[in-house]
Amino acid sequence: MKRIILYAALASLGAAGGLSASGQALPSELVGEWTFAGQTLANTGATASTNDGTYSIAGVSNAPVFSADVPFGNGNSLDLTTPDSYLRINNTASADDGYNGLFDAHSPSFSVAVWEKKPNPAWQDDAWNGFAAKNNGYTASNKGFMLGRNAQQNTPVAQLYNGSYPAAFGATDINDGAWHHLAMTYDAPTTTISLYADGVLQGTATGVYAADTVDPLIFGASEYPVGWRAANALIYDARYYNYALSASQIVTIASLAPTVLSQPNGGTNIVGGTITLTASIGGTPTPTLQWDFNGASLPGATNATLVLSNLQLTNSGSYVLYATNAGGSTNTSPAVVTVKAVTPELIGEWTFAGQTLANLGATAYTNDGTYSIAGVSNAPVFSSDVPFGNGNSLDLTAADSYLRINNTASGDAGYSGLFDVYAPSFTVAVWEKKPDAAWPDDAWNAFAAKNNGASASNIGFMLGRGATQDSAAAQLFNASYPTAYGTTSINDGAWHNLAMTYDATTATISLYVDGALQGTATGVYTADTVDPLVFGAGEYPTGVRAVNAFVYDLRFYNYVLPASQVATIGVPPVPTAVAATVTSGQMTLAWPQDHTGWTLEVQTNALNVGLGTNWTRMARRQSPPSSRKPLNQ
């Protein structure tokens, strides 16, 4: 009975750290670790300075080669990409003077682990390749182990060398050019081999381990001394334990604390719009992610990308992504989101009153126009030919001429997004007259456009004429080019009003000609923030597919005009009564409710020089439509 009890006690000790040559219990510890800190091959484990490494090529010692490419931190990895190169751990073979059996005979249970990166996809010898090994090769008396890659595969394997070669196989691709952590444990009491990749158990097997005391422990090759079946990889933080690590301990040493690879960018949009926040997080094992909004967790927001759709004012604030794994935690910088309530209004109108290109809409003087020919600014050319009134039209009959609206592209210093991202729904309208029946380029020609051309990433819109037709078309630029077509000839030498509306809530394009609805279509509109709003050409900056026409009273609204208002602006106005009242030194001029959207121009002095020379656009209210001005101005 006493012998049985004593045997059981000895077996228990052997399952932990093993026994010394004198039969004393050894502590369970990390007996060897090689991190290559300071570009040395020193062992920093429990047997420090006893088992330093030697860099070898085909059995010949060489000066080690290090790399700054590491899986984490700021240290160095050992470069074993040279054919037949490996790291030999000194005093781990019985022939060495300092041999003590801590890496074989005294480790009936053991764990070996290494970080590896395979920058070159080719495997030497195209067979079994070792990242860590201590064996006597394929001999009659096979002994030892190998942690490496499966024969002619890109997956890991942990194998014992004996007559049956028991092996645990993995599934992770270790030939993808990324860093991976490989670990092999052998538990002597249960004779179990366990294989881990990146902290995850991938396979197990059972078999009897016979320690190889003759050959040294090596990293980066399968067999010693020739460096046969080398891995030709970078290795980092190679470890040997004299006991079998638990699964949780493997997770700990395999864990890369999360790191932020790219920060999320905040943004500004309007109510009803969409903002997408995206971050990139690294770490092993894959970190758990959680977005916070103003310090509180967002339910269900556990991906690297956060889509904020149908924005409301309450979505304004700070968004932070937190990442956690067994190695630690981190978080991104705050991404600030601002949601604005945009007032539906006429933000741009160019009537060419006083022969200027000034914007008289709500963003007056911020978005004036520039007359260009094939991308080159020129002095504008005006005409007295107008659809109504006594003003001027802009003459775009010169080849490749168009009107560029300033500060409507993100590259402009005064860009505000009011003509694209802040207008998911919009209306664009223009009066046009085609004095010359010929269309340049004989294709699609635009009276109003904001798009990036017929490119692979089509975005934006165009209001113009359909290809090789004399009728109007309203088109979105995307993969399918949804288009609403008209029927009225716009090439008859007469003035016509063209209007395009896009309703983001229903994804509906509507085309109006002379105030009448002529066609609809549906499609997804993606705003083009890079290119400016132009009138008179199809694409910027060359002026390709220009219309070579007169244009007048150009308008851009940041909402969908109802059909009744499109009908109002789509026909020449008729004289209407303006009511005048005077109160407290203020004169208020008002006009009928069905003229909502109209503006008032007054001429206040120098009447002797004739009408149409110094008209002033007066600020207005939409409901009721009116304008007020002090009597002394």
**For the residues 155-176, what does the mean pLDDT come to?**
94
User: Whole-angstrom Cα distance, residue 406 to residue 401?
Assistant: 16
User: Whole-angstrom Cα distance, residue 257 to residue 33?
Assistant: 20
Per residue in 398-439, pLDDT (tens digit) is 989 999 999 999 989 889 888 998 888 999 999 999 988 788
Considering the domain boundaries, does residue 1 fall inside one? Answer: no
Q: Are residues 214 and 314 located together in one domain of the fold?
A: no
Q: Are residues 217 and 293 located together in one domain of the fold?
A: no
Residue 125: its pLDDT value, please? 73
Considering the domain boundaries, does residue 58 fall inside one? Answer: yes
- Residue carrying structure tokens 């600020």: 619
Considering the domain boundaries, does residue 152 fall inside one? Answer: yes
Residue 436 corresponds to which tokens in the numbers above? 């010359």
User: Whole-angstrom Cα distance, residue 568 to residue 427?
Assistant: 14
Residue 249: Cβ within 10 Å count: 16
Domain stops at, among 225, 254, 283: 254
Q: Are residues 430 and 537 located together in one domain of the fold?
A: yes
Residue 32 corresponds to which tokens in the numbers above? 């060897």
Instruction: Label residues 51-68 b or e (16+ Cβ within 10 Å = b).
Output: bbbebbbbeeeeebbbbe
Please provide the DSSP assignment of 270-297 as one string: ETT--EEEE-EEEEESPPEEEEEETTEE
Residue 594: its pLDDT value, please? 56
The domain that contains 303 carries what CATH number? 2.60.40.10
Residue 509 corresponds to which tokens in the numbers above? 């394009």
Residue 28 corresponds to which tokens in the numbers above? 């369970």
Considering the domain boundaries, does residue 574 fall inside one? Answer: no
Considering the domain boundaries, does residue 5 fall inside one? Answer: no
Domain stops at, among 525, 543, 569: 569
pTM over 0.75: no
Residue 352: its pLDDT value, please? 94
Q: Are residues 402 and 548 located together in one domain of the fold?
A: yes
Counting residues of the chain whose pLDDT is more than 90, the rounded percentage is 62
The answer to whether 393 and 378 have CB atoms below 8 angstroms apart is no
The pLDDT mean for the chain works out to 87
User: How far is the CA of 487 from the CAs of 210, 251, 346, 490, 502, in angstroms?
Assistant: 89, 70, 27, 9, 19
Per residue in 113-138, pLDDT (tens digit) is 999 999 988 887 767 889 999 998 87
User: Taking Cα atoms as reference points, which of 427, 542, 525, 543 lies closest to residue 483?
Assistant: 525
Looking only at the bridges linking them, the beta strands covering 267-270 and 335-340 are: parallel
Q: Side chain identity at 571, as an amino acid letter? A: V
Residue 342: its pLDDT value, please? 78
Number of structural domains (the chain) is 4
User: Whole-angstrom Cα distance, residue 523 to residue 480?
Assistant: 8
User: Taking Cα atoms as reference points, which of 389, 370, 369 lies closest to residue 613?
Assistant: 389
User: Whole-angstrom Cα distance, residue 499 to residue 513?
Assistant: 7
The domain that contains 188 carries what CATH number? 2.60.120.200
Q: Are residues 191 and 177 located together in one domain of the fold?
A: yes
Residue 43 corresponds to which tokens in the numbers above? 């062992």
User: Taking Cα atoms as reference points, which of 83, 36, 393 lies closest to residue 230?
Assistant: 83
Q: Side chain identity at 348, as an amino acid letter? A: G
Per residue in 248-303, pLDDT (tens digit) is 999 989 988 898 999 999 988 878 778 999 999 988 788 999 999 999 999 999 99
- Name the DSSP class of 190: T
Q: Are residues 84 and 172 located together in one domain of the fold?
A: yes
Considering the domain boundaries, does residue 446 fall inside one? Answer: yes
User: Whole-angstrom Cα distance, residue 411 to residue 470?
Assistant: 35
Confidence band for 104, pLDDT divided at 50, 70 and 90: very high
Collapsing DSSP to helix, strand or coil, 313 comes out as helix
Domain stops at, among 287, 320, 338: 338
- What sign for the dihedral angle of Cα 281, 282, 283, 285? positive
Burial label for 144, CB within 10 Å (0-12, 13-18, 19+), is buried
Q: Are residues 480 and 599 located together in one domain of the fold?
A: no
Looking only at the bridges linking them, the beta strands covering 426-433 and 550-557 are: antiparallel
- Domain residue limits at 229: 10-254
Q: Are residues 98 and 182 located together in one domain of the fold?
A: yes
Q: Are residues 190 and 275 located together in one domain of the fold?
A: no
User: Taking Cα atoms as reference points, which of 61, 57, 52 lies closest to residue 33?
Assistant: 52
- Residue with the bigger pLDDT between 473 and 455: it is 473
Considering the domain boundaries, does residue 371 fall inside one? Answer: yes
Q: Are residues 617 and 499 located together in one domain of the fold?
A: no
DSSP H/E element including 580: strand 579-583
User: Whole-angstrom Cα distance, residue 293 to residue 299?
Assistant: 10
Residue 430: Cβ within 10 Å count: 25
Counting residues of the chain whose pLDDT is more than 70, the rounded percentage is 87
User: Whole-angstrom Cα distance, residue 197 to residue 150?
Assistant: 13
**For the residues 102-123, what does the mean pLDDT come to?**
93
Residue 193: Cβ within 10 Å count: 25
pLDDT over 80 at 577, yes or no: no
Considering the domain boundaries, does residue 508 fall inside one? Answer: yes
Looking only at the bridges linking them, the beta strands covering 516-522 and 508-513 are: antiparallel
User: Whole-angstrom Cα distance, residue 513 to residue 507?
Assistant: 20
Q: Are residues 497 and 403 located together in one domain of the fold?
A: yes
- Which residues touch 46 (CB under 8 Å, ≥6 apart)? 27, 29, 30, 31, 32
- Which of 75-84, 201-210, 622-631 has the lowest average pLDDT? 622-631
Q: Are residues 115 and 80 located together in one domain of the fold?
A: yes
